[in-house]
Structure 1
Amino acid sequence: MGLIASAAAHFGIESPEMRGDSFEKPASQWISPCAGVNQTASTNRTAWPLTGGAVSLDLHHPWGYVFVNLGIGTDYPSFNISLTPSLLNVTGNGTFCLPAVTLPGGVAISEGTNASIQVVTSGASGSALYNCADITFTSKATPLAADMCVNGTGVTGAIVDASQAQSAGSSTSSAPASTSSTASAASNVKSGSMVSAGVVAGVGALIVSWLL
């Protein structure tokens, strides 16, 4: 029962493939930067598009803040590139998928570059949980299919921002939009469009529903 409760309180990365099992000791998702799961010669690496790709998570908390960072390099890179510059609040247990996490302007990536993606979540306690996935940037990467990047039932995301926020390909709104209780496809969201200035918890939240 203790193991089940521990797993239920944590999260996983569904895509790209997670580096390793962070639910079993000696690993611990409380350990920065990658839950104590070390890179090895046989580390799983997922082919990822040169301009960015999908990130799909399996979340086990009723709500939490989600941050996605990038570290360029093969061996223990520094996760100094934010792929989600705005405060992203995700509500609901289950799959949450960002279909197009794009690289910030000025970040030049060449064919075959190795890197690692770090996902950090934080909830009501303020404590952070960590997981990592290792990737290789390549033009030969197959993007995650739309029907594989689908939010779970009742799972939605909100950009917490002082004024307005905008998702790529959709209009903005000054009031929270209604959410759907049915499964919705996480489409047309690019982290580069998230507003990074003036992010303050407790101020207005724009609910962004990722629908078909």
Structure 2
Amino acid sequence: MQTTKVLFVTALSPQTELFVDYLHEQLQCSVEACDREAATPATPNLVLIDSAQCDLAKMTHWSSLSRSAAFNVEHEDAAIALLLHVPLNGIFYRHDNLSQISQGIKAMLDEEIWLSRKLMQSLIRHYRQQQQIAFQPVMGLTQRELEILSLIATRQSNVDIAQRLNLSQHTVKSHLYNIFRKIRVHNRHQAIEWAHEHLNLYLPQHAPHRSPNP
């Protein structure tokens, strides 16, 4: 039977040894501390990488061994920055207590992702914003035009759009004219089809609100 192994990549110290002993007792599996500069060991089931001790290059290297999580992350912004550059399956914050850490490691050993709902929502917002930024230069659509186009795609009338965005109907019509010209369509129906084909990630921001599941 293969032994489950957790590898903790950090700067070795007496505190590290105490932490490793705690994890071994809680997880009932092999837990080994490894210096960030050490040679690559046999493939573990999970790699915990101390983000306070490893730069992005080191984190990328160690994360390539197996499922991995960043450990000792200072705050959410730092977590997002890491997730955008390193293929991680989990995040453990500096303020997480020992019980939360052991619970998260157990979940990750069961091949779950250990990211908070709040962090996932922040990542989704980031990717949506990046899609808008990348897409706008291609078609020359302004932020307001993208907003109006997404509302058109949810079958909102000019009156609805004007009320929602606090614009006059004349201004909405002017924006529609510019939108149709830029995306090269001739009517509202074609604009809706174009929006659903090209703006899939942007549209849900204006979908009707629903309460989250309990």
Normalising by structure 1, we get a TM-score of 0.21
More strand by proportion, 1 or 2? 1
Q: Which structure's relative contact order is higher, taking Cα pairs within 8 Å and 6+ residues apart?
A: 1
Q: TM-score, normalised by structure 2?
A: 0.21
Structure holding more helix per residue: 2
